[in-house]
Amino acid sequence: MRPAENMKKLIKNVPIKTNAERDKEVLDDVLNALEKSEKDYSAASRSRIWRIIMRNRITKLAAAVFVIAVCVGVYQLGGSRAAFARTTRVVRTTLADLREFASNLREHKPEKYIYESNLPPAEPAKPNPDIQYTIISARVQEFSLVGGHDDLLDFLETESIELDPAAGYPDVSYARLDPDKTEHFTDFARAGDDLKLRSGPRLILQEGHEGTVGSFGADDQDAVAIALAATVLDDDGLIELSFSFLRGQSGFEMPSLEIEADEAVLFRLVGTAENEDNSNDEDAPDSDSVIFVLIRIEVIPPG
Amino acid sequence: MIEDKLLIWRFKCGDKAALARIYEKYKTDLLRIATGLLNEMSVAEDIVHDVFVTFAQSSDKLKLGGNLKGYLITCVANRARNSKRVYQRRQAVSLDETESIISDSSKPERWIIRSEELDTLNNALAKLSYPQREVVILHVQGGMKFRAIAESQNVSINTIQSRYRYGLDKLRSLLNGEVEK
């Protein structure tokens, strides 16, 4: 190796170790800073919304009508039922206006990301060098739909593979596959009539830590990035999987999924593939915008 | 890179685990760069600490086009440069006192655990001029491209490349024995 490269290697690889206690202290400071900033931000947004309401004549009027309607409603509570119903209608209309206004407001905040989480926040990953972690290996195969749907639908029906929609994210559906079904699916895909293998990355991650499975789809905008965290639940190989999806500026987390060690998860992602010309096949209008991702999990015990 | 994009997105959503992961992932690189730039561990530790805290406070306004590591390294480099300027302006600390500060850094409560290799390298880096040291560290340790360094410092790419060449030559002569190992 040339001396210059030796020098670069020496500079680059100089070992640096940190004190675990100080690490934790600094991390706590950093997390507290995030928490405080989140609180400040939500207080600031409330006052900003109020400022926006008061700056615009129409919104100011809507807010005023809303307040008056509520006051009238409260005043007439002791009066006739018809009067109360009329007031309720006014309040409802005003609320509808305000809802529309709120949805317009959202357009003024493009920097705020859409985030729907069905999971409690995960514990921070703190790798301990003294512990030998179980390693999770995920073999990932991405297939694009090249033929029509018919044969694939027949196959899924024959194998009793039902793809359930992922709650909160209609573009993703999934199914757990036992080893037999997994093998049949890969055989079907290998036949090449309907499905074409695009890539087959392999992910190695420590138990309890999150790793990115890959980015699937045509380009940066439409591509879906999938991240996976896995935890071994018992000695029999029951595994809990948490999947996160990110497309463009939005994403979601799937409720966690429990599978056996030799099982696989099959995902169907809609609207991700390249937009190839399929004008010759009118029966398969959506076939080129579907991707299947098969993830097979393998547990490698410590040592 | 995809992992970083996911982490940034989750961090912007207020996910503490994502921030913790960013911290775990980059703290060592940032500490290595900061100690190389300043050769004073207490200041280097403070700078990295501040960079992470400021980063955590920016979750609602952060608009990151480039890569996360480059962004954090630039934050450290900017703060190190400012700290250097303040230090030069004061010029109050004598050489003996500096020595005692460095000695203090071996106390167990320090964030960085000192090692012989780290000390040897940082002492050699300290003998380079600051601009040369900065380019060598940002390019070799930080993996930053010459063009990116030139843009961040508002100087020409040729200047950056010459600083790098001279810096590396000088380091080679200072660390001759180490390189042969």
The predicted-structure confidence for B95-112, as pLDDT tens digits, reads as follows 445 544 444 444 557 788
Per-residue pLDDT, B136: 92
Least Cα separation, residue B40 to chain A (angstroms)? 14
When CB atoms are compared, the residue of B21, B111, B136 closest to A125 is: B21
Per-residue pLDDT, B166: 92
Residue B144 has pLDDT above 70, yes or no: yes
Q: Which residues of A touch B58 (CB under 8 A)?
A: 37
Residues A220 and A228: their CA atoms lie apart, in Å, by 19
Using left for φ > 0, alpha for ψ between -120 and 50, and beta otherwise, residue B39 falls in left
Per-residue pLDDT, A198: 77
Per-residue pLDDT, B148: 85
Average pLDDT over residues A179-186: 90
Nearest to A263 by CA among A290, A240, A292, A235: A240
The answer to whether the pTM exceeds 0.90 is no
pLDDT band, very low/low/confident/very high, at A87 (cuts 50, 70, 90): low
Nearest to B110 by CA among A188, A25, A162: A25
Residue B178 has pLDDT above 70, yes or no: no
Interchain contact, A35 vs B16, CB within 8 Å: yes
Least Cα separation, residue B9 to chain A (angstroms)? 8
Residue B5 has pLDDT above 60, yes or no: yes
Q: Which residue has the higher pLDDT, A23 or A276?
A: A23
Which range among A62-76, A208-222, A278-292, B106-120 has the greatest average pLDDT?
B106-120
Residues A217 and A271: their CA atoms lie apart, in Å, by 8
Q: Does A19 touch chain B (CB under 8 A)?
A: yes
Residues A271 and A202: their CA atoms lie apart, in Å, by 24
Per-residue pLDDT, A55: 62
pLDDT in tens, A99-120: 554 454 444 433 333 333 333 3
| CA A247 from centroid of its chain's CA atoms | 8
- Residue numbers of A between 103 and 122 with CB closer than 8 Å to B: 111, 113, 115, 117, 121-122
- Alpha-carbon dihedral sign for residues B137, B139, B143, B149: positive
Average pLDDT over residues A158-162: 90
Least Cα separation, residue B112 to chain A (angstroms)? 4
Instruction: Evaluate whether ipTM surpasses 0.90.
Output: no
Per cent of chain B over pLDDT 90 is 25
Could you give phi then psi for residue A236, rounded to 5 degrees?
A: -80, 0
Residues B22 and A181: their CA atoms lie apart, in Å, by 38
pLDDT band, very low/low/confident/very high, at A285 (cuts 50, 70, 90): very low
Among A168-182, B88-102, B120-134, the minimum mean pLDDT is found in B88-102
